[in-house]
Amino acid sequence: MSETISILTDDPVDYRQRLIVGTHTVKLAEALPIEDEAKAIVIDEAMDILSHCVPPGIHDDITNIAVGYVQSGKTMSFTVLSALAADNGYRIIIYLTGTKTNLQGQTYRRLRNDLLGGNRFGDYKIFDDNLRNYHIDINRVKNFIDLGDCVLLFPILKHYQHISELADIFGSVSIKSKLNELGVLIIDDEADQSSFNTYARKNSQSDDWEEDEFSKTYASILKLKSVFPSHSYVQYTATPQAAFLISNQDILSPKFHTVLTPGKGYTGGKFFFKNETMELVKTIPDEEVYHYQRNPLTDCPQSLLNSLREFIVSVAVKVCIREDISFLTMMIHPDGLCASNEKFADWVDGNLASWRDILNASSNDFARRLLVDDFRRAYEEITRYVSLPPSFDEIMNVLNRVLLFTHVHLIQSISSQFSSIQPETEIDWEEDIAHILIGADMLNRGFTVEHLSMTYMPRSTKGRATADTIEQRCRFFGYKMKYADVCRVYLPQKSIQEYNDYVDHEEVLRSTLRQCSSLKELSLHSMQIANTLNPTRTNILSKKLIRSRLFGWRQMISVDYISHNNKVVSQFLESLSSRWNYCHTYEKPMQNHRYADVSIDEFLNFFSNIKYIDVPNITRKIVTIQYLTSLRETGHSHIRIYEIAFGAGARSRSLTNGKFAQLFQGNSPDWSYPGDRDFKSNDMLSVQIHHLKITNEVSIHLANKELYNLAIYYPEIEDYVSLEEQDDDED
- State pLDDT tens for residues 353-397: 999 999 999 989 999 999 999 999 999 999 999 999 999 999 999
Residue 147 clears pLDDT 50, i.e. is over it: yes
Fold held by 16-198+210-259: Rossmann fold (3.40.50)
Q: What is the pLDDT of residues 73-111, one digit of tens each?
A: 788 999 999 999 999 999 999 999 877 776 777 788 888
Distance CA 626, CA 201 (A): 13
Distance CA 286, CA 293 (A): 14
* Residue 429 pLDDT class (50, 70, 90 cuts): very high
Mean pLDDT of 442-465: 75
What would the 3-class secondary structure string for 190-224 be? Answer: CCCCCCHHHHHHCCCCCCCCCCCHHHHHHHHHHHH
What pLDDT score does 11 carry?
55
State which amino acid sits at residue 633: E
Residue 675 clears pLDDT 70, i.e. is over it: yes
Continuous H helices in 65-115: 74-87, 101-111
Q: What is the pLDDT of residues 199-217, one digit of tens each?
A: 555 544 556 666 666 678 8
Distance CA 581, CA 587 (A): 18
Distance CA 676, CA 673 (A): 9
Element (H, E) at 368: helix 366-382
* Residue 6 pLDDT class (50, 70, 90 cuts): very low
Mean pLDDT of 282-294: 93
Residue 121 clears pLDDT 70, i.e. is over it: no
β 594-599/406-411 pair status: unpaired
What pLDDT score does 538 carry?
42
The answer to whether 593 and 583 are in contact (CB under 8 A) is yes
Give the E-state strand segments of 228-345 in sequence order.
231-237, 256-259, 266-267, 281-284, 328-332
Mean pLDDT of 669-690: 95
* Residue 665 pLDDT class (50, 70, 90 cuts): very high
Give the E-state strand segments of 426-537 in sequence order.
434-439, 452-456, 465-466, 478-479, 488-492, 526-530, 533-534
The answer to whether 107 and 76 are in contact (CB under 8 A) is no
What pLDDT score does 721 carry?
45
Residue 414 clears pLDDT 90, i.e. is over it: no
Q: What percent of the chain has pLDDT over 90?
A: 50
Q: Of 293-302, 321-330, 456-465, which gets the smallest average pLDDT?
A: 456-465
Q: What is the pLDDT of residues 484-542, one digit of tens each?
A: 999 999 999 998 988 888 888 778 778 888 887 766 666 555 545 455 555 444 444 44
Distance CA 679, CA 642 (A): 8
Between 615 and 686, the higher pLDDT residue: 686
Q: b vs e for 53-70, b when ≥16 Cβ sit within 10 Å of the residue's Cβ?
A: bbbbeeeebbbbbbbbbb
Residue 346 clears pLDDT 80, i.e. is over it: yes
Name the burial class of residue 654, with classes exposed (0-12), middle (13-18) and buried (19+) by CB atoms within 10 angstroms of its CB.
exposed
What pLDDT score does 476 carry?
81
DSSP class of 442: G
Distance CA 215, CA 249 (A): 17
3-state secondary structure of 702: coil
3-state secondary structure of 700: coil
* Residue 5 pLDDT class (50, 70, 90 cuts): very low
So where are the chain's domains? 16-198+210-259, 266-512, 543-720
What pLDDT score does 536 carry?
47
* Residue 634 pLDDT class (50, 70, 90 cuts): confident
Distance CA 23, CA 485 (A): 40
pLDDT, the chain, mean: 84
Residue 443 clears pLDDT 70, i.e. is over it: no
Let me know the angle formed at the C-alpha of 252 by 251 and 253, rounded to the nearest 5 degrees: 90
What pLDDT score does 186 carry?
97
What pLDDT score does 1 carry?
44
Predicted model pTM: 0.74
What pLDDT score does 209 carry?
64
What pLDDT score does 158 carry?
87
Q: What is the pLDDT of residues 581-590, one digit of tens each?
A: 999 999 899 9
Nearest Cα residue to 186 out of 160, 163, 211: 163
Q: What percent of the chain has pLDDT over 70?
A: 81
β 124-126/231-237 pair status: unpaired
The answer to whether 427 and 696 are in contact (CB under 8 A) is no
The answer to whether 658 and 560 are in contact (CB under 8 A) is no
Distance CA 24, CA 22 (A): 6
Continuous H helices in 246-365: 269-273, 302-315, 338-359
Q: Is the dihedral of CA 528, 529, 534, 536 positive or negative?
A: negative
* Residue 218 pLDDT class (50, 70, 90 cuts): confident
What pLDDT score does 691 carry?
97
The torsion angle over the Cα atoms of residues 287, 292, 298 and 303, rounded to 10 degrees, is: 40
Residue 468 clears pLDDT 60, i.e. is over it: no
At CB < 8 A and 24+ separation, what contacts does 511-520 make?
A: 513/67, 513/257, 513/259, 514/259, 516/257, 518/12, 518/14, 518/255, 518/256, 518/257, 519/7, 519/9, 519/12, 519/244, 519/254, 519/255, 519/256, 519/257, 520/9, 520/10, 520/11, 520/12, 520/255
Provide Rg for the chain, Cα atoms.
Answer: 29
Distance CA 35, CA 33 (A): 7
Nearest Cα residue to 651 out of 711, 610, 680, 691: 691
